[in-house]
Amino acid sequence: GEGLPTLVISTSAGDTSVVLSPYRALMRAGYTPSPGRHVEVKAAPASTGGADHWVAITLRDVDSGLEVVLRDADSGLPLVGGRGRAR
């Protein structure tokens, strides 16, 4: 794919983009983000390559109740390693 998967969340303050990474965690949970879904996201600010953005720590699909933990809440490190390794 091209770039990191990003979720655009509409709030009363406007639209906010949140990076969903690592995508492998979403795949393992069987979750595919789709437009119009009601989700709750816990995210942290991050800066890479001089660009500021938000990175999801957890994502919960309100309709299905499915919650996916993408990163450690304390360290911000991904909970799913690359190349088939789990952390």
**Per-residue pLDDT in tens (0 to 9) along the chain, 87 residues:** 457 788 888 888 888 889 998 888 999 999 988 888 899 999 999 887 887 889 999 999 999 999 999 999 999 899 876 544 444
Task: Give the span between the Cα atoms of 62 and 44, in whole angstroms.
Answer: 20
Please answer whether residues 15 and 35 qualify as being in contact, where contact means their C-beta atoms are separated by less than 8 angstroms. no
Angle (CA) 11-9-78 rounded to 5° is: 130
Chain centroid to CA 30: 14
| C-alpha distances in Å from residue 85, one per residue of 11, 20, 78, 82 | 36, 19, 11, 6
pTM, 2 dp: 0.80
What is the predicted pLDDT for the residue at 80?
A: 74
